[in-house]
Amino acid sequence: MENIKLYSLKNPKSGFSESFKSLRTSLQFSSRDKKIQIIVVTSPGRGEGKTTIASNLALSFAQSEKKVLLVDCNMRKPTIHEIFDIPNEKGLTNILLGEGNLEDVVHNWVGELQGLNVVTCGPIPLNPSEILGSDQMKKFLEDVRKEFDMVIIDTPAINSVTDGVILSALADGTIMVVELRRTDRDTAKKGKKLLESVHANIIGVVLNKVPTK
């Protein structure tokens, strides 16, 4: 069965894939003053497609011959390992708790695409918000900034828990995903206000599930 969440990989000429190429180009030129290298992808509510957007955006950057790292920072309900069919016994949690380093947990994805690397969540911690806002997380981001051209971070919904807001304050830019006919205006405004409260650099809003025809 085809993995619909990685549709752009199998169908590079599709409208779906082209939309990510357009998004990639927009992000590359979104700031003249500051290089956009670490991007958080989040959404106001659950189930609005942020993980699919993050995964395909990472694929799109890798297709443009960038060295890309996709990080699953959804420590509430991680799914990146399922999408890419890779182990999740060790991951970001282990690094942040001092139980491993990047080399121990990074997966050089050996699908049809070179250049894409993935760090899964790993064991679900008891205190996600605390460790994601820790000095260890800041050091992790400093380290991956040196190793990769682009870092894409998937987070939980920002209206539910603070994790995504915390990470948005550490990233170069944040993309907020909203879903057509699902995300109401008040919910979107609340999410935007939360991001603005930590001075997050909102570099784009993606409207998901828009018909291509």
Six token digits for residue 116 = 């894409």
Which tens digit of pLDDT belongs to each residue from 30-49?
666 778 999 999 988 787 78
The pTM of the full predicted model, rounded to 2 decimals, is: 0.89
Band the pLDDT of 6: cuts 50, 70, 90: low
Residue 19 in any domain: the answer is no
Question: Given this model, what pLDDT does residue 22 score?
Answer: 72
In a domain, 12, yes or no: no
Dump pLDDT digits (tens) for 51-90.
999 998 999 898 888 999 999 999 999 999 999 999 999 9
The Cα–Cα gap between 81 and 84 comes to: 5
Torsion, Cα 102 103 106 107, to 10 degrees, reads 180
Q: How many domains does the chain have?
A: 1
Is 150 domain-assigned? yes
CATH number at residue 106: 3.40.50.300
Range of the domain at 118: 35-208
Residue at 68 is within a domain? yes
Q: Could you tell me which of 144, 4, 116, 132 has the C-alpha nearest to residue 76?
A: 132
Nearest Cα neighbor of 122 from 156, 94, 154, 102 is 94
Query: Is residue 152 scored above 60 in pLDDT?
Result: yes
**Domain for residue 28, yes or no?**
no
Residue 187 lies in a domain: yes
Unique residue bearing structure tokens 């549709």:
7
**DSSP secondary structure code for residue 49 in this structure:** S
